[in-house]
Amino acid sequence: MSSINPHFQFQKAIDPSVEALMDGILHQNLSALSKAITLVESGLPNHRGMANELIDRLLPFTGKSQRIGITGVPGVGKSTFIETFGLKLIEKGHRVAVLAIDPTSSISHGSILGDKTRMNSLATHPNAFIRPTPSGGNLGGVHRKTRESILLCEAFGFDRILVETVGVGQSETAVHHMTDVFLLLLLSGAGDELQGIKRGIMEMADLLVIHKADGENQSKAERAMAEVKSAIRLFPTPPSGWSPQVQTLSSIEQLGFDSLFQQLESYFNHSITQGFFDFNRKEQSISWMKDALGDALFFWLENQPQFHERWKTQEEKVLLQQKSPFSAVSEILQSYLPQ
Determine the Cα–Cα distance for residues 32 and 50; give it in Å rounded to an integer.
14
Nearer to ligand GDP, 240 or 250 (CB): 250
CB 214 to ligand GDP: min, Å: 5
Q: Least separation, in Å, of the C-beta of 80 and ligand GDP?
A: 3
DSSP 80-149: HHHHHHHHHHHHTT--EEEEEE-TTHHHHTS-GGG-TTTTHHHHT-TTEEE-PPP-SS-HHHHHHHHHHH
List contacts with ligand GDP (CB under 6 A).
72, 74-80, 211-212, 214, 250-252
Residues 6+ apart with CB under 8 A from 279: none
Please give the residue whose beta carbon sits closest to ligand GDP in the complex: 77
For the CB of residue 72, give the shortest distance to ligand GDP in the complex, in Å.
Answer: 6
For residue 151, CA distances in Å to 10, 56, 271, 304 come to 22, 10, 21, 29
CB atoms within 10 A of CB 219: 10
Largest CA distance in the chain: 71
What is the nearest approach in angstroms of ligand GDP to the Cβ of residue 81? 6
* Residue whose CB is less far from ligand GDP, 49 or 74: 74
Nearer to ligand GDP, 131 or 211 (CB): 211
Over the Cα atoms of the chain, what is R_g?
22
Nearest in space to 113 (alpha carbons), one of 97, 125, 127, 126: 97
Q: Which is nearer to ligand GDP, 55 or 185 (CB)?
A: 185
From the CB of 222, what's the least distance to ligand GDP, in Å?
15
Which residue number, 248 or 314, has a Cβ lying nearer to ligand GDP? 248
Q: Provide CB contacts within 8 A for 288, sequence distance 6+.
A: 144, 147, 178
CB of 181 to ligand GDP, least distance (A): 19
Which residue, 135 or 271, has its beta carbon nearer to ligand GDP? 135
